[in-house]
Amino acid sequence: MSGTVTIINYNANAHDIVSAAGRLSTTAGSADELYQRACDNDSEKNINLINKILSSGHQSVLEHIYVNLSFDNVSVFVEQFMIEFRLASFTVKSRRYVDFGKMGYVSPDFSSVNETTKAEALYQQHMEYLFGEYNAFIEAGIPKEDARFVLPYSFRSNFYCTVNARELVKIMNEMVGGRGKAYPEIVALGESLLSQCETCLPYLKKVKPEPDVGEMMRTHFPVREKNRKTENGEPLVTLLNGTPEPEKIICRAAALNYGIHGWENTEITDPGKQKAILADLLKGGRKRELEQVNFTIFFHRMSLAGVTHLVRHRIQSIIVPEYISTCRYDSYVLPESIVNAGLKERYQEVFIRTEETAALLEAMGLSAQDRVYLLLSGMTIPVMTTMNANELCTFFRLRTCVRAQWEIKECADELLRILREEYPVLFSLYGPSCFMLGKCPEGKMTCGRIKEILEKYSFDGEKEM
């Protein structure tokens, strides 16, 4: 494992601003005066104060520090682990547009495996096979976004992360003592971050590991086999729950927000009036009224690659299950481009051979945590999430657009259809950006089919999309 994480930048005045913030709530003086006083102190004095504040449990002062991280040549599994942290910003290489054929891959430590040399050779041979198949699909004209489904979760990723220091503490501790502690690569990166913080941000420390709730949960439920293969006839998306009569709640919230006298007794029940109010709210910037209603959604099968599109929506509560205990090699997405190119059997063979290789390595003693590198990007898992109506507005604007990746667009279109059936007034106003804004924001990347799309997503309460 040769991937690294580096703190490439942080507030040059980190100690000053945090110590000033710590003094502000209990010390006389203006914000500027207290900051200047902190700047005049030596670093050791400010650091001692910060440690005292943190020992009292007041961690919000750390949110005044931003930290820029560079993850270099780590596995895509690390990337997926990281981007589930919602209070952070990420920029990653797009597997839709970048050729990953020569990016390389991460290997586990085989020292504790039986027949170490044989196991390592088998792993390397299979990795070369997988990347060879990826390259062959690209050469056959398969789009990169479809060829990527045969890439293993060992392939190297590079990305940037920007996060405040309080969230960084949470991330580092999750890496070394939380849900990342079972994965050697993640632990090594977490330890590296903690070591770097000793020099530049010494008050960002390792804390006591949290209890293993996952192990506790397993004692409460009966042991069953892995989920059976998902059949094509089963639903793609299910709406598990939603706020009853969301339009009424949103309209009442709007009355409160805009100072309408008697808002608490406001009861807008006429669908036409509701729709007019909702349409005006959607033109605004904050749209906090939409955040008063929530919807819990279950995606029955989403590829590991597709999950990356979903988790990038930050304002949601998402459940992505543990990969190694959930994924099956006989449950995966099958792109139309593969079928149309006559490569279906070759594509399916990739999953069959990878399952066989994983089984051989398991028999040699390769741990479940290390076998995560043998999962393929096209394998599917179930995902549950809860979003408010404001975040769903963003989700549908981006994911029902014809430029969206086909799998996430398929999920978004099906979800929008379901929501329109259940809540026709509210969600009749939702759709791609051109539908909601009346114009395409993609510039030169526009599909040029706005009239067709407006007609498709227009909704009169009777016809389907």
The C-alpha atoms of residue 357 and residue 341 are separated, in whole angstroms, by 26
The C-alpha atoms of residue 162 and residue 348 are separated, in whole angstroms, by 39
Contact assessment for residue 442 and residue 456, using Cβ atoms and an 8 Å cutoff: no
Alpha-carbon Rg for the chain in angstroms? 25
> Around 450, how many Cα atoms within 13 Å sit in the side-chain half-sphere?
14
Q: Which residue pairs from 23-30 have beta carbons closer than 8 angstroms and sit at least 24 positions apart in sequence?
A: 23/49
The C-alpha atoms of residue 47 and residue 252 are separated, in whole angstroms, by 48
H helix or E strand, kind and range, residue 302: strand 294-303
The strand ranges marked E within 55-212 are 66-75, 88-92, 156-164
CB atoms inside a 10 Å sphere around CB 149: 27
Q: Distance from CA of residue 129 to its chain's centroid? A: 29
Q: Is 399 a catalytic residue?
A: yes
- Nearest to residue 275, comparing CAs of 246, 300, 240, 304? 246
Number of DSSP helices (H) and strands (E) in the chain, helices first: 20, 8
> If you ran DSSP here, which 8-state letter would residue 408 be given?
H
List the catalytic residue out of 95, 148, 252, 399.
Answer: 399
Q: What are 386's strand-pairing partners?
A: 296, 317
The C-alpha atoms of residue 14 and residue 22 are separated, in whole angstroms, by 12
Rounded alpha-carbon distances, angstroms, from residue 344 to 119, 128, 330: 29, 20, 14
The C-alpha atoms of residue 53 and residue 42 are separated, in whole angstroms, by 17
The C-alpha atoms of residue 270 and residue 250 are separated, in whole angstroms, by 13
In 3-state terms, what secondary structure has residue 297? strand
Contact assessment for residue 201 and residue 65, using Cβ atoms and an 8 Å cutoff: yes
Q: What are 90's strand-pairing partners?
A: 161
In 3-state terms, what secondary structure has residue 6? strand
- Nearest to residue 449, comparing CAs of 415, 396, 401? 401
Active site members: 399
